Amino acid sequence: GGGALALNRRRKPGTASAKSQAVSAKQQFEQSRQQAGAAITDARTAFQDAEEKGSYDKVSYPAGEVATLAEQQNAAQSSFNGALQRYAAVEEAFKGRDNASTEEYQQGSETYSQVIALVEQARGQLEPVAARRAELDQINAAAQPAVSAAKQAAQELGQQAAALGEFQNPAAVTREVDAQIARAQQLLNDRQGAEATTAAQEATAGLAALGALLGRFTGTRERISVGRGSAERVAVQGFRTEAGLAAYDQAETALKQAAVLLESQGSQAAAPLLEQAETLAAEGEGRGGGMPALLRENEARISSVEQSGQQTPALIAQGHSAFDQVDEYAPSTWTDIRGNGSEAESAAGRAKALVERARARNTMEEQDIYGAKLDLDAAEQELGRSRTLIETIITRLKDLETSQANARKELEMAQADIERGWQYIRSNDADIGADAETALRRAEELLRAASAEAGQPKPNWITVVKQAQESNKLADDALAQAQGESVAMDKLREQLTHARELAQAEVQRLLQFVQLHQDDLSPATLAGVQRVQQQAQQAQQAAGSAETALEAARVKALRAAQERYAALTDTAEDVYQQAYNEFQGVEKIRGQVTSESQRATLAIQQAERSMQTYSAYIPRNSEGIQLLERAHALMKAVGTVRSEADVPRALENLREATRNAESADALFRSYANTPTMGGGGYGRGGGAGDLIGGLVIGSMLGGG
């Protein structure tokens, strides 16, 4: 009896514990069931909402977007269906059962937890679908106002075009942008909101540009109208405005032609003629109503340009002094500035002559006031060119001096590194292979070559720097290979600085040469200049990156930057040589027509002097005047000679100009032996001076 009692006592606590676990498991089961049910209910609402919105996808979004949304939503729905199936399975298993085992309740709770996780997964898959629909709705909402705004702007611009009265068919003016707007509307109809917005924005930008163009039409028309009235008012003050009124007539003709082209071919075709009309209108103002103000402005400018010209000789003298010092260096290092001093003097001389001619023209007697303005413009350009030519000489001297100073440092550094390398190798010869010794021997060869060049009467310090740097690099490599690591960072930075200075000097030489002779260079050479500029930017970026690199990578980065600058130096030298050769070729070609040009110029000048001398006897309708005008036109037609193909045409024009001028001169002289015809000559009409002032010899042989 006592044993049975003891057994019963032991069982009672176990039975109570099992019951407690069962109750707890059932409570957890019910709680999990409620949570899973709530999650499903909440998710079902979201999926129903998505399904309802999805029914409008095909009529709201592009086909590609519709397919993507459907694929994503189906994947989310599949995950949700999986959760529903598991939930239904648990519900079916516990249907009508109130006293399942603890293990069964625990398994049911675990399944409900899995259901909740699947529901959350499905909701996560559905969220991007909803977000994308909202984004597409925003895009579509923005597209319609953009298209409508473009349409409204086009309508207003069409009204503006019609109000101008310049166009026979004002609607044709907006033809290009109307097509863009139609495309935007079609994209909107096709539910491609983003593309429609972009097209509408492009159309709006086109409308803005067209509006600006129409504004220029209006401004030019007003300028012509106001200018004619101003010309009439200043005429009573003694100003001769015939040339200004003629320029206004030409401007009006060009404006009408621009309007025709705008209607028929669009804004790009009309723009050049509109610009021509604006230029002619400006000339009309300068030769018409604007003459009194321009007369005063020219007077002030003449004084200013003269003062600037008076400062030029001192600068030219400084350039000559610098060139004398440059002559101490290898000729190959300063070919880019050869002749700069002489050309600077010539430019200064031309500027002075232009100022003198401007002073003569800027008088009430001569009244070529607009021509005086053009002379002053040209004089300022010539003075600027003169300064640039001299500054190029001075800059080149500084660059060569820098190369010379750097060369000595590089030679010393290379020698020190070679000695250090041999010292280390001899101390550790048993552990060092032959590669380091080979590199040091090559470094010594380069150093000897650099030293030999430095000992020349006129060393090429650029070559010295390059060879010394290469020697230095080889010695560094040998020492690093022997030692395993370590090149002093400060020395690397100094080498990089020298390489950068050398490269910058070569690039600057190239760019300055191109600036002075750009018109004489081929597209291939100009493309090479762009490559040099790109290399310069890349080298600069590499140098900047080297300073921010980790210590372990900094040596490699600094060397890479130095190599970029070395390559940049080589490229700049090659492109410069190419540009220099092309320029020399063009100069040679131009030389073929120089003598003929001088002959034609002298013949024209002689004819002009004869016309001035015998103006009292020359009839107004003299054939000689026509021949002289023709000679001027032929000279102007020569333009810039840049290739051998231009030479025959130039020579033909120059020879014909010479013949015309000589014939004109002969006619003018013949009138001196002919009795004066009843006051019909220029001497009594005051026109010979006007004509001479109006004839301007065209620019010759490239540059001005």
pLDDT of residue 273: 93
- Determine the distance from the C-alpha atom of residue 450 to the mean position of all C-alpha atoms in its chain, rounded to a whole number: 40
Question: Under a CB-based contact definition with an 8 Å cutoff, are residues 319 and 340 in contact?
Answer: yes
- Phi, psi (5° rounding) for residue 601? -60, -45
pLDDT of the residue at 687: 42
- C-alpha 293, offset from chain centre: 38
Average pLDDT over residues 307-332: 85
CA–CA separation, 660 and 603 (whole Å): 9
* Position 695 pLDDT exceeds 50: no
pTM of the model: 0.49
- Reduced to 3 states (helix: H, G, I; strand: E, B; else coil), residue 428 is coil
Residue 10 has pLDDT above 70, yes or no: no
Q: Is the pLDDT of residue 676 over 70?
A: no
How far apart (Å, rounded) are the C-alpha atoms in residues 445 and 297? 67
Counting residues of the chain whose pLDDT is more than 70, the rounded percentage is 90
Query: Which pLDDT score is estimated for 554?
Result: 62
pLDDT of residue 384: 95
Confidence of residue 94 (pLDDT cuts 50, 70, 90): confident
What's the pLDDT at 703?
Answer: 40
Residue 647 near residue 589, CB atoms below 8 Å:
yes
- Between 237 and 681, residue with greater pLDDT: 237
pLDDT confidence tier of residue 8, bands split at 50, 70 and 90: very low
Please list, in sequence order, all residues whose beta carbon lies within 8 angstroms of the beta carbon of residue 589, skipping any fewer than 6 positions away: 641, 642, 643, 644, 646, 647
Residue that the structure tokens 């050769």 belong to = 581
Please tell me which residue, 327 or 386, carries the higher pLDDT value.
386
Q: Which range in 149-153, 325-329, 671-675 is most confidently predicted, on average pLDDT? A: 149-153
Q: Which H/E stretch holds residue 122?
A: helix 102-164
- Band the pLDDT of 693: cuts 50, 70, 90: very low
Q: How many CB atoms lie within 10 A of CB 483?
A: 16
> Where residue 680 falls among pLDDT bands split at 50, 70, 90?
very low
Residue 401 reports pLDDT greater than 60: yes
Average pLDDT value for residue range 645-670: 91
Q: Answer yes or no: is pLDDT of 493 > 80.
A: no
pLDDT at position 120 is 93
CB atoms within 10 A of CB 134: 11
The residue written with tokens 């300063």 in the block is 334
Determine phi and psi for 575, rounding to 5 degrees. -65, -40
pLDDT, mean of residues 440-447: 84
From 139-143, 581-585, 679-683, the region with the lowest mean pLDDT: 679-683
Once rounded to an integer, what is the mean pLDDT over residues 283-296? Answer: 92
pLDDT at residue 327 is higher than 80: no
Q: Specify the pLDDT at position 685.
A: 41
CA angle 585, 589, 593 (to 5 degrees): 160
pLDDT at 381: 96
According to DSSP, residue 699 is labeled P
pLDDT band per the 50, 70, 90 thresholds, residue 433: low
Distance CA(121)–CA(201), nearest Å, equals: 41
DSSP notation for 35-63: HHHHHHHHHHHHHHHHHHHHTTGGGTS-H
- Residue 681 phi/psi, 5-degree rounding, is -80, 170
Distance CA 566, CA 625 (A): 63
The residues, ordered by sequence, that sit 6+ positions from 624 with a Cβ below 8 Å of its Cβ are 607, 611, 618, 663, 664, 665, 666, 667, 668, 671
Among 288-302, 389-403, 576-590, 627-641, the minimum mean pLDDT is found in 576-590
pLDDT recorded at residue 254: 93
The pLDDT of residue 489 is: 62
pLDDT, position 357 = 96
Residues of the chain with pLDDT > 90, as a percent, come to 37
Q: What pLDDT sits at residue 544?
A: 83
Reported confidence tier of residue 675, pLDDT bands at 50, 70, 90? low
Give the integer Cα–Cα distance in Å for 112 and 118.
Answer: 10
Residue located via tokens 């998505």: 50
What torsion, rounded to 10 degrees, do the Cα atoms 170, 173, 174, 175 define?
Answer: 110
- Taking residue 638's Cβ as centre, other Cβ atoms within 10 Å add up to 23
> What are 661's two structure tokens?
């001028």
Task: Supply the pLDDT for residue 14.
Answer: 54
H-type alpha helices, 639-697:
647-671, 682-685, 688-694
More confident residue, 434 or 601: 601
| Cβ neighbourhood burial of 141 (10 Å; 0-12, 13-18, 19+) | exposed
Where would I find the H helices in 236-368?
A: 242-264, 267-286, 291-326, 340-361
Lowest mean pLDDT among 27-36, 307-316, 479-488: 479-488
> To which H or E segment does residue 359 belong?
helix 340-361
CA atoms of 481 and 475, how far apart (whole Å): 10
For the chain, what is the radius of gyration of the CA atoms? 44
What's the CA gap between 154 and 174, in Å, rounded?
Answer: 7
First to last CA, the chain: 136
Q: Which residues contact 99 (CB under 8 A, 6 or more apart)?
A: none
CA pair distance 541, 568, nearest whole angstrom: 13
- Quick: pLDDT tens for 531-566: 999 999 999 888 888 767 654 466 678 788 889 999
Q: Domain coordinates of the chain in residue numbers?
A: 2-145, 165-286
Once rounded to an integer, what is the mean pLDDT over residues 44-68?
A: 89
- How much is the pLDDT for 240? 93
Given this model, what pLDDT does residue 486 score? 43
Q: If DSSP codes are grouped into helix, strand and coil, which group holds residue 386? A: helix
The reported pLDDT for the residue numbered 536 is 93
pLDDT the model gives residue 456:
75
Q: What is the pLDDT of residues 591-601, one digit of tens each?
A: 778 888 889 99
Determine the pLDDT at residue 672.
Answer: 78
Give me the chain's average pLDDT, please.
Answer: 84
Average pLDDT rounded to a whole number, residues 385-390: 94
Provide the pLDDT for residue 148: 93
Strand partners, 681: 619
C-alpha closest to that of 522 among 623, 642, 420, 419: 642
CA nearest to 494, candidates 423, 565, 549:
565
In angstroms, the Cα distances linking 117 to 43, 94, 121, 357, 528 are 12, 21, 6, 94, 64
